[in-house]
């Protein structure tokens, strides 16, 4: 017998049967026959290790142990989706789309499965790695665990791109979840709370053999990569099925928002017939060209919308109202509830948002309240059962002093929230600001987590984020759970943070209303922290897209002597508080004061590169043509309505070559 040939035959046969069973749900042999073939292959591989293959069907049983999950930066960011809850919101979304793109719009409707997001990378048809969503920019490498999921192909079928990513959800079907819980109850263990959290937790188990025993499935919905040859979302789904991925058959192509709404109404009524948890429908513009033209906001694609089914609602008793203090001093009232099961989880607390919301709903301690999961994530109180109210109950009196430092609260005119003004003496504010400073999107200090920050503050070792740079190994070793290696990692992570670019440092400072996008705009305009600190509110408002509220907040931050001292210390310690010379060398003001709209297909430069070139040279990129648009950069296949609008408004219409000449 030719052993190598027999091993290859068995692998191909088992891969096909695996695909028939787990992807197509059409088994062609019995479980016993499958197990016998698998056993024969295992025995041959054990006797002939020279023919080892990490993608063999025998590797599905797991066994690899992962102590620490490596953090991996996504090649293509994993954005979150904007949510809508009504027909009107979807119609408004379509109106916004039509202002930007020309021609017919088609939509792909997909069920929004409730699981753990995953990104799979394939190279030459072989599974290379699997990474969790994380914060969208980077996630954890869970390849060993994902390899055990039978519906994830280790080798692809047919013809496919050399390299691409495919995104999806790891889910736990109801049937498998019920079976797992029955087994846990039989051995006297607590049952798992819900399928979604169990699926997510499974990906971070250290023993992949344990993951292999769980009936997880992987449902794929989005191909991402360069030069894939795919031109639309629906084509991508069909290709993914051909290559061997499990793509839900419920996905459909629609020609209007009316058809989309029919799809939503159908599945709102039939979702409980599905084998998995689903909480809504994702609607995507089908054409990749139109998707590119629509682009993204700072957080989500403009070409996709998640329609959320009406949230589940339960009633329970509100036992006590307490108050939380955020890093900016904002006070959030919290309803502490009698525990209640809601959308698969036990809910004990819910946000009451602010004093106005409490007054509007007339919420009181002791009331029976109606609780929903807003967007299926954050529980919120939506009403009171007045028929069950105690006749002697008293209206809620909102807190007048900070629950942490007893400072009298303030409420600025025109704002809904109360604030604790004790910025430098209120412990949650001190800890919160430092936790924000070290977070992933800010300084991303490895080896330093939120709990360690609290330990450092409570031990009196730090009072602000500048103090981090004075820490020594001997200072932190006595801390609880701080081993030698952990201390080394922390000190090394703090030192490495000095390489973080200016715009992220500016975001890390935690200035109110200065998020990632605003920080980038301010850093680009002022170039360094000194120029920004010296800017008046009037100068700040003149920066593109900086409003009066942000301008006031930035000026207020730098007016405080304590903040100026901290910033000076950061500068002295070597933190990047100006745009690097290399970055400055690539920026000019050649296009300053000009607004551009890009439309069509380009030959020499990609659309994203065009946008970057405009912004790097002082121009502004807009998605739609208005009277403020100075130039329309027109490529091939540009829509006629956009061209007509530009001509009507007298906008300068230039070609790709014309634009490149402007820069030269």
List, as residue ranges, the binding site for Zn(2+): 402, 405, 426
Structure tokens at 408: 């009298």
Contact 278, 253 (CB under 8 A): no
* Residues 6 or more apart whose Cβ sits within 8 Å of residue 71: 134, 138, 139, 140, 141
Contact 79, 299 (CB under 8 A): yes
**Residue 335: Cβ-neighbour burial (10 angstroms; 0-12, 13-18, 19+):** buried
Collapsing DSSP to helix, strand or coil, 602 comes out as coil
Residue 112 is among the residues annotated as catalytic for this protein: yes
DSSP 445-462: -TT--HHHHHHHHHTTS-
* Three-class DSSP category at 58: helix
Nearest to 340 by CA among 299, 367, 372: 372
* Segment (H or E) for 355: helix 355-361
Known binding residues are 31-35, 80-81, 110, 133, 169, 284, 308, 402, 405, 426
Residues at the binding site for NAD(+) are: 31-35, 80-81, 110, 133, 169, 284, 308
Give burial (CB, 10 Å; 0-12/13-18/19+) of 646: buried
Q: How far apart are CA 429 and CA 347, in angstroms?
A: 26
Do residues 278 and 264 touch, judged by C-beta distance below 8 A? no
Annotated catalytic residue, options 37, 39, 99, 112:
112
How far is C-alpha 26 from the geometric centre of its chain's CA atoms?
35
> Token pair for residue 76?
């293509």
CA distance 597 to 634: 8
Nearest C-alpha neighbor of 167 from the set 125, 218, 203, 107: 218
SS3 assignment, position 378: strand
Cα 239–243–248 angle (5° rounding)?
65
- In the chain, the N- to C-terminal Cα span, in Å, equals 70
Number of H helices, E strands in the chain: 25, 20
Q: How far apart are CA 204 and CA 216, in angstroms?
A: 13
Give me the residue label for tokens 């028939």.
Answer: 20
Helix locations, 617-655, DSSP H: 640-649
Q: How far apart are CA 605 and CA 660, in angstroms?
A: 9
CB 337 within 8 A of CB 347: yes
Backbone angles phi, psi at 631, to 5 degrees: -135, 140
- Cα–Cα separations (whole angstroms), residue 38 to 28, 31, 235: 15, 10, 35
User: How far apart, in whole angstroms, are the C-alpha atoms of residue 575 and residue 567?
Assistant: 9
Q: Find, among 139, 222, 51, the residue nearest to 440 by Cα.
A: 139
What's the CA gap between 452 and 161, in Å, rounded?
Answer: 44
**Catalytic residue numbers?**
112
């Amino acid at each position: 017998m030719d052993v190598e040939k027999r091993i290859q035959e068995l692998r191909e046969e088992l891969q096909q049967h695996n695909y028939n069973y787990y992807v197509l749900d059409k088994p062609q042999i019995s479980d016993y026959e499958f197990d016998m073939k698998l056993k024969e292959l295992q025995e041959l591989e054990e006797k002939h290790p020279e023919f080892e293959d990490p993608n063999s069907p025998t590797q599905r049983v797991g066994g690899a142990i992962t102590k620490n999950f490596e953090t991996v930066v996504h090649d293509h960011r994993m954005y979150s989706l904007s949510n809508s809850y009504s027909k009107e919101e979807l119609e408004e979304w379509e109106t916004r789309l039509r202002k930007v793109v020309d021609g017919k719009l088609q939509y792909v409707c997909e069920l929004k499965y409730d699981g753990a997001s995953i990104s799979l990378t394939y190279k030459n048809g072989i599974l290379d790695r699997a990474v969790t969503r994380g914060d969208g920019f980077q996630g954890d490498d869970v390849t060993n665990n994902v390899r055990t999921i039978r519906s994830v192909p280790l080798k692809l079928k047919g013809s496919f791109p050399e390299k691409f990513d495919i995104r999806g959800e790891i889910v736990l079907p109801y049937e498998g979840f019920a079976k797992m819980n029955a087994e846990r109850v039989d051995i006297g263990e607590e049952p798992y709370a819900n399928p979604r959290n169990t699926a997510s937790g499974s990906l971070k188990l250290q023993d992949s053999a344990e993951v292999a025993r769980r009936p997880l499935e992987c449902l794929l919905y989005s191909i991402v990569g360069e030069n894939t040859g795919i031109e639309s979302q629906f084509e991508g789904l069909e290709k993914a099925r051909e290559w061997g991925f499990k793509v839900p058959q419920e996905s459909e192509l629609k020609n209007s928002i009316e058809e989309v709404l029919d799809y939503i109404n159908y599945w709102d009524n039939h979702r409980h017939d599905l084998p998995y948890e689903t909480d809504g429908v994702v609607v995507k513009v089908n054409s990749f060209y139109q998707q590119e033209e629509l682009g993204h906001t700072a957080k989500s694609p403009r070409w996709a919308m998640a329609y959320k089914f009406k949230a589940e609602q339960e009633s329970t008793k509100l036992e006590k109202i307490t108050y939380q203090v955020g890093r900016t001093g904002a006070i959030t009232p919290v309803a502490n509830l009698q525990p209640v099961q809601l959308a698969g989880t036990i809910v004990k607390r819910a946000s009451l948002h602010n004093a106005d919301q409490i007054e509007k709903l007339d919420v009181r301690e002791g009331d029976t309240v109606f609780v929903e999961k807003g967007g299926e994530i954050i529980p919120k109180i939506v009403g009171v059962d007045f028929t069950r109210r105690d006749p002697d109950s008293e209206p809620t009196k909102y807190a007048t002093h900070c629950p942490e430092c007893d400072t009298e609260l303030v409420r600025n005119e025109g704002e809904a929230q109360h604030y604790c003004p004790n910025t430098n003496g209120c412990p949650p504010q001190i800890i919160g600001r430092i936790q924000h400073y070290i977070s992933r999107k800010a300084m991303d200090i490895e080896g330093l987590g939120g709990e360690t920050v609290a330990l450092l503050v409570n031990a009196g070792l730090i009072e602000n984020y500048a103090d981090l740079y004075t820490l020594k190994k001997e200072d932190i070793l006595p801390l609880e759970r701080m081993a030698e290696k952990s201390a080394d990692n922390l000190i090394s992570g703090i030192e490495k943070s000095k390489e973080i670019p200016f715009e992220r440092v500016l975001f890390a400072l935690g200035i109110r209303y200065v998020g990632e996008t605003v920080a980038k705009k301010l850093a680009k305009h002022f170039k360094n922290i000194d120029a920004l600190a010296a800017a008046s509110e009037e100068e700040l408002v003149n920066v593109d897209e900086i409003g009066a509220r942000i301008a006031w907040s930035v000026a207020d931050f730098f007016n405080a002597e304590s903040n100026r001292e901290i910033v000076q210390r950061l500068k002295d310690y070597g933190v990047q508080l100006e745009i690097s010379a290399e970055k400055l060398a690539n920026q000019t003001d050649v296009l300053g004061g000009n607004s551009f709209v890009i439309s069509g297909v380009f030959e020499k430069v990609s659309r994203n590169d065009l946008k970057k070139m405009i912004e790097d040279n002082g121009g502004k990129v807009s998605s739609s043509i208005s009277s403020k648009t100075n130039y329309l950069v027109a490529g091939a296949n540009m829509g006629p309505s956009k061209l007509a609008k530009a001509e009507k408004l007298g906008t300068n219409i230039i070609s790709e070559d014309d634009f490149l000449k402007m820069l030269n």
